């Protein structure tokens, strides 16, 4: 790996933050106009497994400064976000949208990958194990076509390339398979990149009255892995079933699925490498994944607008080689007060790319993340 593990873990956790004003899609506003906003976020963490963190009683840092442009002019819409992290900067999404009518719309550019529970399967600040394998909060170059009517949500998509196209830089927001290194000289390298991925996501929302609701869905995608070094083309696929149950302020969710990368290459290996946040790490070429979570929102008066308590657990099992099962559990609370959003979390990981690798033990850290949104 090419970066300090704790620094990278901090950056990956930051990927879980969604704007405090909510998830904004192509229909962000009913009136014409562009809104400029953003956020500034600070991070404190204490990792008992890290000697330097223990000695200094944790660390407090500026995590990110981000700027957003969102709005519409007639049937056209814009959703753009650019982020400045420690050591690099990157767009998160740069999407132009068009509404054909009340049911059909599209967006193209650097768009969100529609797969699984949307917009996120995980609650809070730290994402699930699915993020590290590119199946949660992922950005791709391509187009989504949406159909929404009577609780039916259908998305058809073509993702032409990963977040930065064919570029191999690891200074990107979400993990992609991307070419880097030299197979003849480097121990850690990747010959493949993603291209031409077709995706379909179907979800049905049901309402039973008295605050009871259910969403059930299926997601799938299939695409190419282009070996730029050996001039060969392999494939990749992923599929999942997912659901959300709501009862008033209670939210329960679950997701299960599988994926496989099948590169065409002369190298004999059971893993493939992905890049994001200035780092590189290996993941299983084939795996099953599982996610369960629960959250309860408590509305308050006074200083706090509401508090959301949550816990999510995720598991990734290697079906191609001998990597140990990657587990992650996040228990926390979100404190909302006007433009200020604070996440307090206990994050536990085992056999992860950046935590819990030593001695097959759980590694736990406390994180407080404070963000001001404007």
* Average pLDDT of the chain to the nearest whole number: 89
Q: What is the mean pLDDT of residues 354-365?
A: 77
Q: Say what the pLDDT of residue 4 is.
A: 42
Q: How many domains does the chain have?
A: 1
Express each pLDDT in 105-145 by its tens digit: 999 999 999 999 999 999 999 999 999 999 999 999 999 99
Q: How confident is the model at residue 12 (pLDDT cuts 50, 70, 90)?
A: very low
Range in 99-108, 162-171, 215-224 the model is least confident about:
162-171
Is the pLDDT at 252 greater than 80, yes or no? yes
Range of the domain at 67: 5-373
Q: How confident is the model at residue 19 (pLDDT cuts 50, 70, 90)?
A: very low
Residue 225 sits at the vertex; the CA angle it makes with 115 and 146, to the nearest 5 degrees, is: 30
Q: Say what the pLDDT of residue 237 is.
A: 98
Q: What is the mean pLDDT of residues 5-22?
A: 41
Q: Say what the pLDDT of residue 3 is.
A: 40
Q: How confident is the model at residue 358 (pLDDT cuts 50, 70, 90)?
A: low
Express each pLDDT in 290-340 by its tens digit: 999 999 999 998 899 999 999 999 999 999 888 899 999 999 999 999 999
Between strands 192-209 and 306-318, the pairing is unpaired
Is the pLDDT at 17 greater than 60, yes or no? no
* Half-sphere exposure in the Cβ direction for 350 (13 Å, CA): 13
The pTM of this model reads 0.89
Helical segments of the chain, H only? 5-14, 51-55, 129-132
The label of the residue with tokens 């039973």 reads 208
Express each pLDDT in 256-284 by its tens digit: 999 999 999 888 889 999 999 888 999 99
Q: Say what the pLDDT of residue 30 is.
A: 64
Among 315, 152, 295, 166, residue whose Cα is nearest residue 228: 166
Strand partners, 251: 246, 295
Two tokens, residue 158: 């073509």
Among 38, 35, 153, 172, residue whose Cα is nearest residue 92: 172
Distances (CA, A) of 365 to 15, 53, 257, 344: 17, 10, 28, 11
Q: What are phi and psi of 175, to 5 degrees?
A: -65, 135
CATH of the domain at 257: 2.40.160.10
Q: What is the mean pLDDT of residues 25-40?
A: 75
Express each pLDDT in 234-247 by its tens digit: 999 999 999 999 99
Q: What are phi and psi of 131, to 5 degrees?
A: -60, -45
Express each pLDDT in 164-214 by its tens digit: 877 678 889 999 998 888 777 677 788 899 999 999 999 999 999 999 999
Distances (CA, A) of 171 to 9, 88, 163, 185: 15, 6, 10, 23
The whole-angstrom separation of Cα 162 and Cα 142 is 9
Is the pLDDT at 8 greater than 90, yes or no? no
- Higher pLDDT pick, 188 / 83: 83
The whole-angstrom separation of Cα 248 and Cα 30 is 27
């Amino acid at each position: 790996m090419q970066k300090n593990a704790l620094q990278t873990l901090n950056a990956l956790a930051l990927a879980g933050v969604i704007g405090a004003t909510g998830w904004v899609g192509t229909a962000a506003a009913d009136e014409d106009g562009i809104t400029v906003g953003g956020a500034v976020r600070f991070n404190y963490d204490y990792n008992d497994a890290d000697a330097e963190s223990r000695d200094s009683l944790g660390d407090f840092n500026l995590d990110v400064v981000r700027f957003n442009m969102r709005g519409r002019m007639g049937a056209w819409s814009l959703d753009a976000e650019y982020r400045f992290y420690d050591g690099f900067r990157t767009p998160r999404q740069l999407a132009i949208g068009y509404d054909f009518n009340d049911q059909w719309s599209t967006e193209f550019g650097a768009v969100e990958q529609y797969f699984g529970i949307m917009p996120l399967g995980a609650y809070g600040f730290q994402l699930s194990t699915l993020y590290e394998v590119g199946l949660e909060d992922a950005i791709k170059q391509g187009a989504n076509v949406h159909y929404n009517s009577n609780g039916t949500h259908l998305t058809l998509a073509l993702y032409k390339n990963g977040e930065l196209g064919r570029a191999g830089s690891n200074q990107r927001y979400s993990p992609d398979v991307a070419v880097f290194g030299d197979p003849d000289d480097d121990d850690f390298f990747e010959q493949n990149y993603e291209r031409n991925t077709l995706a379909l996501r179907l979800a049905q929302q049901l309402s039973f009255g008295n605050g009871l609701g259910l969403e059930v869905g299926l997601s799938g995608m299939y695409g190419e892995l282009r070996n730029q070094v050996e001039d060969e083309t392999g494939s990749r696929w992923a599929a999942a079933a997912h659901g959300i149950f709501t009862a008033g302020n209670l939210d329960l969710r679950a997701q299960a699925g599988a994926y496989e990368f099948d590169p065409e290459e002369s190298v004999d290996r059971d893993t493939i490498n992905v890049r994001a946040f200035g780092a590189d790490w290996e993941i299983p070429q084939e795996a099953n994944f599982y996610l369960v979570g629960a959250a309860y929102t408590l509305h308050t008066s006074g200083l706090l607008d509401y508090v959301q308590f949550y816990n999510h657990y995720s598991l990734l099992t290697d079906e191609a080689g001998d990597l140990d099962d990657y587990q992650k559990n996040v228990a926390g609370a979100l404190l909302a007060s006007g433009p200020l959003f604070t996440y307090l979390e206990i994050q536990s990981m085992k056999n992860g790319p950046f935590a819990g690798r030593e001695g097959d033990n759980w590694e736990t850290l406390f994180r407080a993340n404070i963000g001001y949104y404007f």
